[in-house]
Structure 1
Amino acid sequence: MNKFANKRAANTAGLAFPLSPVAAGCTVFLMALAGSAFAQEQQTAPAAPPATTDTTNNTPNSALPPAEDATVSTTTTPVSTVRVTGIRRGIEAAISIKKNSTSIVEAISAEDIGKLPDQSVADSIARLPGVSAQRGRTSGKASDISVRGLAPSFNGTLLNGREMASTGNARSPEFDLFPAELMGSVVIYKTPDASVIGQGLAATIDLRTVQPLDFGKRTVAVSYKKSQLGVKQRDGLPEGDGKRYTLSYIDQFANRTIGVAMGFTRYEEMGGGQSKFNSWGVADTVRVPGSDVPVAVKVPNGFGYDTEQNSHERDGAFASLQYRPNKNFKSTVDIFYSAGETGLKKTGFEAGVAGNGNGFYERVHELTNATISNGVATSGTLINWKGVVRNHYEGAKDDLKTVGWNNELRFGDWTTMADLTWSKATKLGSRYETTAGTLPGQQDTLSYTGFNGANVTEVKYTPGLNYADRNVISLTDTMGWSSSLANGISPQAGYLGQPYVEDEVKAIRLNAKKNVEWGPVIATTYGFNFTARDKERTGQDGRLMIIGGDPNGSAQVPGSAVAPAGASGFNVVSWDPRGALGTVYELAPKVDADILNKWWDVKERISTAYVMGDLDGEMFGLSYRGNVGVQAIHTDQTGGGYQVDSGNCVGNTPSGCPGVRVTDGDKYWDVLPSLNLSFDLKNDQLLRFGLAKVVSRANLDDLRAGQNVTLSNQQGVSVLTSSGGNPLLKPFRAKAFDLSYEKYFGNKGYVSAALFYKKLDTYILRTARDYDFASTISPETTLPEGGSTIGRFTQPQNGSGGNIKGYELAVNLPFSMLTPYLDGFGVLVNHSDTKSSVELPRDGFANVTGSAISIPLPGLSRKVSNLRLYYEKNGFQVAAAARKRSNFLGQVSDYQDNTQLTFIKGETIVDLQASYEIQSGWLKGTSLFVQAQNMNNEPFLEYTDDENNPTNRVDYGRTYHFGASYKF
């Protein structure tokens, strides 16, 4: 090992590979282990060999799903077997994966063919220790996954060990794209090893489909599910429904040398009506009639009420073809396909209260008939006021295609592998925004009651006009939001945005493993991976104008439907704007600095060379196994985009606001050593130790080039400002230490306690800095008073880090271990507590409001707990589960498809499920089941400073599923 270390040092002396503390620690630790092992080599028999590893997806072969109905026999005495099914089968398979891994991992496994423990992949893995899920603001379904307090973008997500393309700004695809029925298991690597490609700083999540030759016989499974969504919401809004079909087929041919597995699922859902409220906070002043000076009194600042209904359709399919003519050769082709369409219909009402809504056609509001108490206007009436009826539709069509071909050949002491990957994802969005209200020049009144100075979610508003009357309310440019004194009248009766994302990933991986006898090193692995990624975001934006109308043009709202505006207590006109382009509206293409700043492309070429040694030996009287290795990663990245000088823009048309395409990039190395050790403490007890250097690459949109320069007013002072990406960004980098104690009870249960610590060497901050725009502006650019070209540029930058630390406790036990009277009962419970010293400057996140000057680490909930109680016997299955997380800074997508940060109040989600499988007769293999999600009807709450005064509330209601499945 010393020779190898010296040779590596000589070969890399000119490549600026500094010896990190982690690398030094791994080397010293391995030398100590080697010395101990060599000293005992002749006296001590080696420990039992560890589970072999499938180099395709780093899966311990002994942890693969057990062969279906496989039997064990000898030539002398028949051996009876116990067939474990359902919940306990999934638990035992997951425990086997965790127990036999040389890294610290968490796992879930399908309870049966096409049956993960929950409705979605995200729901299932959110029940694992140290893992939490954020519900989507629109759908209410678990979507984004945080591991150990780090945002979802810190995870690496793989499919059968391979990186994939994505349709969002993050590198990994959304979990909604993976129907749970198509997954065989999911493994979360909390500590990496050198052979895992596409690692994340928080964790690496490997989604695994079934492999046909791991099963003992042909298996066919079909299921049908009917759903009710949005049941028993607080505002009595209409319920939704859905249906889901699944087919799985697994078979083997030619004396089990050929295996085929296929799965298909389709689901359609129309969600229940959701009531949403958004507050603009509290204003400290308001105008009154006869005075040009605002009066110091607290009033609501503004509000938005919406009733939303979402729809989802998705087709998912996978296929796996395996060929294994002998024990020395195996070839596997995996294909995964997911295509879907999502839609969100919004019907709502919004308006300013204090001041105005910044509309060109809106006058300054004045408060009359006010009741004032302790500086708070608890009620009153606004005059010179205008409100806007919103009928919006936000939808997207996406697809993900991934193909992998793996070939493994064994000869002598060598096992070689070649793996090819192609993955492509596309997404076309469609965002219709339409406005209706009074014509320009027409005003209304607004009365409100019940305000105490803080309770913005409880104020009662009453407009003077009937906004459900089509004779009063028209489709029109109600506010004049696109008009200004500078640009004149620019009619905008609505808006259409159609962003398009395309991402393609190609990769080749070569791997060779050799069995050796080098003291504690029993095998060495050498590998190389090359990944080419090309991603771009383009699109079309434009103002919707009434056909044939002048700037004050209007049209009658189509149809006759009305709908409640959220929980406002009043109805508004309702219609679906899809198909209105060319019949009601014409499009005026729009281009400005903000729009061009969203058009970008990124190219990455990443080469990874790695070497790893498998360890097996004895130290201090304790047997151990594990691995030690290093990855050397070279990155070549290029970001493209547009540089826009608002001084060159005359209006907001493509010809009136030209952008200059720019590109930039960087090349750099990362060296990532890692060490994993698992000590056998006897009696099925393990002490695991992990030490590694890890990285997470920036979100792809952060690597874009370009910027938009404009003259802004900041705290009463005019200054040049700009925002953009940074093609020179380096990754998040950290050193990680993990320690875990695990006590197993065979494969039936375990208890564990873990400690973890991550020292963040670098962190990517979005922050504003002083910047000289002299080289990027034109002579036509309006400069601030004094003519200074020095302004503020907000972009992601590499900064110094901090630390994250915490502990995890887990218990997974069948109660039959306590007494046979409780046979069939069991419990899974875990709790994690995570702290971080990282705080980010608030000024880099304009969408995060509040009084504090810094914000916490996105995705971090201090406390996360999970509980699942179950009973399974004689075909009956009953389970109750709850997951709880404390307050956190979450990620949401705004109406312009931008990722925004928002404070989300902690929540507890309760789910129930029950099923019965017929055990005998001609219906054997048939199961009937019922499931309930969000049984406690937990709302989704966002807040600014005070969690007890939320500024945005979403009520999803309960979701019920009823269905049947049949397996033969």
Structure 2
Amino acid sequence: MTMNKGKRAAAREFRISPVAVGCTLLIVSAGALAQQAQQAQQLETVTVTGIRKGIEAAISVKKNSDSIVEAISAEDIGKLPDASVAESVSRLPGVAIQLSPVTGRAQQVSVRGMSPDFNGGLLNGREQASTGTGRGVEFDQYPAELLGGIVIYKTPDASLVGQGLSSTIDLQMVRPLNFATRTMAVNYRKEHNTKAENLPGFTTGSGDRAAFSYVDQFADRTFGVALGITKHKSNGGGRPNFNTWGGWVADVPYNGGTVKTPGGFTTDIETTDFDRKGAMAVLQFRPNKDFESIADIFYSKGDFSVKKRGLEGPLGGLSAGANDQGGTLINATVSNGIATSGTFTNWKGVIRNHNEDYTDELKSIGWNNRLNAGAWTLKADLSYSGVDKHSVRYETTAGLPGNTVNNADTISFSGFDGSNLADVKYTSGLNYADPKLIKLTDVQGWAGATGVQDGFYANPTTKDKIKAARLSGKTDVSWGPVAAVEVGGNFTRRTKDRVAVEGALAVKSALNADGTLKDRLAFADIPNPTVGVGGLTGIPTLNWNPAGSLGSVYTLIPWTVLDIASKSWGVSEKVGTAYIKGDIDGKIAGLDVRGNIGLQIQHTQQRSTGFRVDQATCVEATKSCSYIGMADGHSYNDFLPNLNLTTQLTNDSLLRFGLGRVLARPNMEDMKTSLELSLKTDISPQRLNATGGNPKLEPFRADALDLSYEKYFGNKGYLSAAGFYKNLKTYILNVGQPFDFKPYVTPSTTLPPGGSTVGVFTQPVNGSGGSIRGAELAVNVPLSLATNWLDGFGVAVNYSYTDSAVELDASGFATQNVKTTKIPLPGLSKQVTNLRFYYEKYGFQIAVAARKRSDYLGSINDYQDRNQLVYIKGSTGVDFQTSYEFSSGWLKGLSLMAQGSNMTNPWFSYYDASNGQTTDRKKFGKSYLLGLSYKL
């Protein structure tokens, strides 16, 4: 049926366009959406609550969109379907989460098999700052209680600023004038975290979560206010971590032959204390239909403290430092060349007492104005988003002091089959819990024979700021199938700075008053020690809390060597965007079609700073070098056309088509201006060699094609099948290229024989890409559609399969955790499955959800604050929630609820793709929430 202008006007009263979502942010609570749709369509009033309320509101957004989108709406004020934003969106087709390796909480989101950095992260349609070295938004910074909905755009839209290459994720706050009446809600939940392992040293955890929301309207509904506050505190139980030193199996001499033994291990019990506070405020002024002004503020602050208490050490007869002479294998049981058990003499274990504390603070402010001026609708928007992250890391070592062989110090192992490194049992011949023996010291001699490193200290700070201004105008036209035209412009300025202060900790008696080294073998007593266990070994060890020990126990020896100095950098960007978009509503090739066609033109100016270290000036004992600042920049243009078409095959069946060019800007650390120059002497002929960033990097770019079929059952349910193809025009990876370093050579630079200044510079560059393709299937229906006997029951299930022709050279990535020569696209899980089964009736709500993700290549920050690629094993997570709401009497409005997450408690494991060996694994335990909420 062709829509004429009159019918279009009527349809706009209840149809929500995703463009309007991004520009005017008129996403409201599920109840308001349902009420508007009922009024516009003059249907019989039906009261829908809880789970079905959120589902139906989300379906309405998806169905009425002109683009291919996925949506989630709050089930009630301050109540998204899950405890976190990332968990909520992970229920959607083509979406998978990556857990934080520290907290175990859902943190980052991969869409359509691509890295989290390929998503655009928005709040109320505005680009958001991030805490990491990249651009991927950490969604655990956004408390779910403060949001009213989420829309994921899978196809581009010319009026959507801040788009990503894989998707654009827009988090949306409520609009108070879209609520019928004053609404208040308060909820409180008590948290219990189980032991991750039922072993000595593991404890349970506890916490609580509280939120308050208030929405009201004043002055004859011309002024609205929405306020929300939330607090979440969690003291986690002990979590096991076991690292097999990269899956290393050692070849060890024994009885005239060679046998295989474990090469070494690191194991910790980790505890995490977490405290996040959040607040939001929305002021909405709409004196008449022609003018509206909305100001909103979002604030979130998190404090984290991660404590690691454990034990590590080499086996295989290895000498791991200047103070360790290695050991000999004795009393071994050998089978087929494998020592299934045995003992190593002269072992020097290292007790780990590490603290990693950080605070992040997010502020997001926006002011949006809309004015109907004759035939034009004009909009103006100003926004600011800023994140500050401050970290402090203490790594301390304790064990046997001195540089002597201790024959009583042995390590025995058993249960080894040649590959099960994470399951081997260990026992020691020394009492590592005896404070008379165990001291704070450089146990292994990791600083070498001329230095000291009794521990390590890092204090990195990251600041990311985004300021943006936007103007646009829209008017109806009659240009064939084009029914309206919107033109606009946006200017964004972003600055991101990272400053890293790092260095060795030395016990105070190791240094003279002037800071020079006095005794590299010095040691100190452990302050206020307690007895713990060495991770999963169960070996008793001494624990202590090193927080604040700099100055009282230790002196800092700052390091300015290559890899430390390069961690400090700054990047600034200015992006100007002009766009034109036409709304399509008419006939094309005889079909009734709606959608949009548009073009974005972007001009980018970027500049970065960094440091060049003069390797010839470095002093090995103190790891200090001379360095100078550097700066450089680049500018470029992008043309991003797009087309979205939707045709209605039947009353409730839609066919969608999307085509466009998309981009994702580079990881900001890759853009730093830095140069780490040295003479490479382990090759012939010798040559200069350097690594660094690239201030001239341009974005990842891709041409995207999408096709989707959707069958709706009113607003109650739907089924869909979608396919997509992305042709990656460019990809970014590290490549070594010939380079003349003459401008960077100083009198102290050591040149190769012959004095050539030409060498190899390895840095991120733009290269040719590949392709990624996939299919998504989804069913979200109430089972009452099949029979009334199943009224109240419902199911949502989706499956996605993604494949890629991208095969990247592993040497092009600065990572220590990838052992193969070729790697797949980071973030790609070939298969992702989500299932949610629910029942809602008579005030009861029960839901069980499971999500399964296959193996993938993930991106993490390692112990040195460097971004690393690691292979992560797939797993299945199961959650449940149940509640009861009183609908009458003096308890009306009160709900009781219980929730459980991570019920399968799977291992979170890294592995070596070259041999399948587990290299690192940990568990996070189950989490239970019990609480109540009250709504007025």
Q: Same fold (TM over 0.5)?
A: yes
**Of 841, 858, 868, which aligns to 1:890?**
858
Q: How many angstroms does 1:789 deviate by?
A: 4.9
Quick one: distance in 2 between partners of 1:56 and 1:830? 25
**Of 64, 67, 83, which aligns to 1:103?**
67
Q: Would you say the 8 A contact 1:69–1:83 is kept in 2?
A: no
The verdict on how the C-alpha distance between 1:951 and 1:715 changes in structure 2, with shifts beyond 3 A counting, is farther
Quick one: distance in 1 between partners of 2:860 and 2:3? 57
Deviates more, 1:560-569 or 1:464-473: 560-569
| Aligned-pair Cα RMSD in Å | 2.5
Q: Would you say the 8 A contact 1:122–1:133 is kept in 2?
A: yes
Quick one: distance in 1 between partners of 2:16 and 2:835? 33
Q: Would you say the 8 A contact 2:25–2:125 is kept in 1?
A: no
Quick one: distance in 2 between partners of 1:555 and 1:73? 74
Quick one: distance in 2 between partners of 1:374 and 1:573? 38
Partner of 1:592: 561
Q: How many angstroms does 1:357 deviate by?
A: 5.3
Kindly provide the amino acid, as one letter, of the partner of residue 244 in structure 1: R
Q: Would you say the 8 A contact 2:492–2:574 is kept in 1?
A: yes
Q: Would you say the 8 A contact 2:261–2:316 is kept in 1?
A: yes
Kindly provide the amino acid, as one letter, of the partner of residue 248 in structure 1: S
Deviates more, 1:499-508 or 1:792-801: 792-801
Quick one: distance in 2 between partners of 1:62 and 1:472? 65
Q: Would you say the 8 A contact 1:47–1:616 is kept in 2?
A: no
Quick one: distance in 2 between partners of 1:94 and 1:52? 11
The verdict on how the C-alpha distance between 1:948 and 1:589 changes in structure 2, with shifts beyond 3 A counting, is closer
**Of 454, 459, 478, which aligns to 2:424?**
459
Q: How many angstroms does 1:251 deviate by?
A: 0.3
Q: Would you say the 8 A contact 2:27–2:172 is kept in 1?
A: no
**Of 168, 191, 216, which aligns to 2:155?**
191
1:730 matched to 2:687? The reply is no
Partner of 2:303: 341
Other structure's SS at 2:22 match: coil
Other structure's SS at 2:268 match: strand
1:565 matched to 2:529? The reply is no
1:906 matched to 2:867? The reply is no
Partner of 2:363: 401
The verdict on how the C-alpha distance between 1:613 and 1:357 changes in structure 2, with shifts beyond 3 A counting, is farther
1:147 matched to 2:147? The reply is no
Q: How many angstroms does 1:234 deviate by?
A: 4.8
Q: How many angstroms does 1:460 deviate by?
A: 1.8
Q: What fraction of aligned residue pairs are identical, expressed as a percent?
A: 51
Q: Would you say the 8 A contact 2:21–2:27 is kept in 1?
A: no
Partner of 1:16: none
Partner of 1:82: 46
The verdict on how the C-alpha distance between 1:714 and 1:867 changes in structure 2, with shifts beyond 3 A counting, is farther
Q: Which runs of 5+ in 1 are unaligned?
A: 1-36
Deviates more, 1:691-700 or 1:235-244: 235-244
Q: Would you say the 8 A contact 2:28–2:178 is kept in 1?
A: no
Partner of 1:181: 145
1:323 matched to 2:288? The reply is no
Q: How many angstroms does 1:423 deviate by?
A: 1.6
Partner of 1:23: none
Partner of 1:26: none
**Of 679, 701, 706, which aligns to 2:669?**
701
Deviates more, 1:155-164 or 1:944-953: 944-953
Q: How many angstroms does 1:836 deviate by?
A: 0.2
Quick one: distance in 2 between partners of 1:786 and 1:350? 46
Kindly provide the amino acid, as one letter, of the partner of residue 266 in structure 1: K
Q: Would you say the 8 A contact 1:534–1:601 is kept in 2?
A: yes
Q: Would you say the 8 A contact 2:571–2:606 is kept in 1?
A: yes
Quick one: distance in 1 between partners of 2:681 and 2:780? 58
Quick one: distance in 2 between partners of 1:852 and 1:714? 23
Kindly provide the amino acid, as one letter, of the partner of residue 776 in structure 1: Y
**1:545-560 pair list within 5 angstroms:** 545-549=506-510, 550-560=519-529
Q: Would you say the 8 A contact 1:742–1:751 is kept in 2?
A: yes
Partner of 1:509: 470
Other structure's SS at 2:316 match: coil
Partner of 2:515: none
TM-score scaled by structure 1?
0.91
**1:349-396 residue CA offsets vs partner (Å, 9 max, x unmatched):** 111112535312121333233333333233322233311000000010
Q: Would you say the 8 A contact 2:25–2:124 is kept in 1?
A: no
Other structure's SS at 1:87 match: helix
Deviates more, 1:449-458 or 1:629-638: 449-458
Partner of 1:472: 437
Quick one: distance in 2 between partners of 1:824 and 1:716? 75
Partner of 1:825: 793
Q: How many angstroms does 1:47 deviate by?
A: 10
Q: Would you say the 8 A contact 2:462–2:497 is kept in 1?
A: yes
Q: How many angstroms does 1:575 deviate by?
A: 1.0
The verdict on how the C-alpha distance between 1:721 and 1:376 changes in structure 2, with shifts beyond 3 A counting, is farther
Quick one: distance in 1 between partners of 2:920 and 2:37? 59
Quick one: distance in 1 between partners of 2:687 and 2:806? 30
Quick one: distance in 2 between partners of 1:529 and 1:642? 33
1:215 matched to 2:179? The reply is yes
Partner of 2:227: 262
**1:239-270 residue CA offsets vs partner (Å, 9 max, x unmatched):** 11111110000000000000000100011111
Kindly provide the amino acid, as one letter, of the partner of residue 680 in structure 1: Q
Other structure's SS at 1:480 match: coil
Kindly provide the amino acid, as one letter, of the partner of residue 520 in structure 1: P
Quick one: distance in 2 between partners of 1:507 and 1:172? 18
Quick one: distance in 1 between partners of 2:590 and 2:198? 63
**1:59-92 residue CA offsets vs partner (Å, 9 max, x unmatched):** 6858764329969999xxx986222110000000
1:519 matched to 2:476? The reply is no
Other structure's SS at 2:811 match: helix
**Of 440, 453, 457, which aligns to 1:496?**
457
Quick one: distance in 2 between partners of 1:437 and 1:62? 59
Deviates more, 1:639-648 or 1:183-192: 639-648
**1:719-739 residue CA offsets vs partner (Å, 9 max, x unmatched):** 644322111111000000000
Quick one: distance in 2 between partners of 1:63 and 1:103? 19
Q: How many angstroms does 1:478 deviate by?
A: 1.2
Q: Would you say the 8 A contact 2:29–2:74 is kept in 1?
A: no
Quick one: distance in 2 between partners of 1:423 and 1:509? 15
Other structure's SS at 1:587 match: strand
Kindly provide the amino acid, as one letter, of the partner of residue 235 in structure 1: L
Other structure's SS at 1:657 match: strand
Q: How many angstroms does 1:398 deviate by?
A: 1.1
Quick one: distance in 1 between partners of 2:170 and 2:394? 37
Other structure's SS at 1:94 match: helix
**Of 636, 649, 656, which aligns to 1:688?**
656
Q: Would you say the 8 A contact 1:63–1:97 is kept in 2?
A: no
Kindly provide the amino acid, as one letter, of the partner of residue 282 in structure 1: W
**1:324-349 residue CA offsets vs partner (Å, 9 max, x unmatched):** 01000000001010111111000011
The verdict on how the C-alpha distance between 1:664 and 1:747 changes in structure 2, with shifts beyond 3 A counting, is same
**Of 104, 113, 118, which aligns to 2:82?**
118
Quick one: distance in 2 between partners of 1:286 and 1:62? 65
Kindly provide the amino acid, as one letter, of the partner of residue 524 in structure 1: V
1:619 matched to 2:593? The reply is no
Other structure's SS at 2:346 match: strand
Other structure's SS at 1:615 match: strand
Partner of 2:497: 536
Partner of 2:514: none
1:244 matched to 2:213? The reply is no
Q: Would you say the 8 A contact 2:727–2:771 is kept in 1?
A: yes
Q: Would you say the 8 A contact 2:176–2:215 is kept in 1?
A: yes
Partner of 1:170: 134
Quick one: distance in 1 between partners of 2:37 and 2:178? 15
Task: Report the number of matched residues.
Answer: 918
Quick one: distance in 1 between partners of 2:489 and 2:36? 40
Q: How many angstroms does 1:440 deviate by?
A: 1.9
Quick one: distance in 2 between partners of 1:850 and 1:71? 53
